[in-house]
Amino acid sequence: MNHIAFIEKQVVAELMKQGYEPSVALKGADRAVDHYRRSASASARGKMFDDCLHIARLWASKYQPKTKNR
């Protein structure tokens, strides 16, 4: 498994665990991978995954559909 596949798989799993819909989690993972590709050396040592997850969570929180309370 390469770095990009690892980031994508783990971000999707984490976002879905936090309650995001699968489609939103997949799009968030795409944003995380984009962040990884653009700034692979900009993060502090050992913090790249955390940075990618943060970007994915920000994006997912904006696009998670609102649910009606019954």
Total Cβ atoms within 10 A of residue 50: 11
Per the structure, the count of domains in the chain is 1
pLDDT at 42: 62
Integer Cα distance of 10 and 6 in angstroms: 6
> pTM, whole model, 2 decimals?
0.81
Domain holding 16, by residue range, is: 3-63
Integer Cα distance of 39 and 43 in angstroms: 7
Run means of pLDDT, 10 residues per run, the chain, 70 residues: 91 94 94 88 75 93 66
Query: Would 68 be classed as within a structural domain?
Result: no
Query: Would 70 be classed as within a structural domain?
Result: no
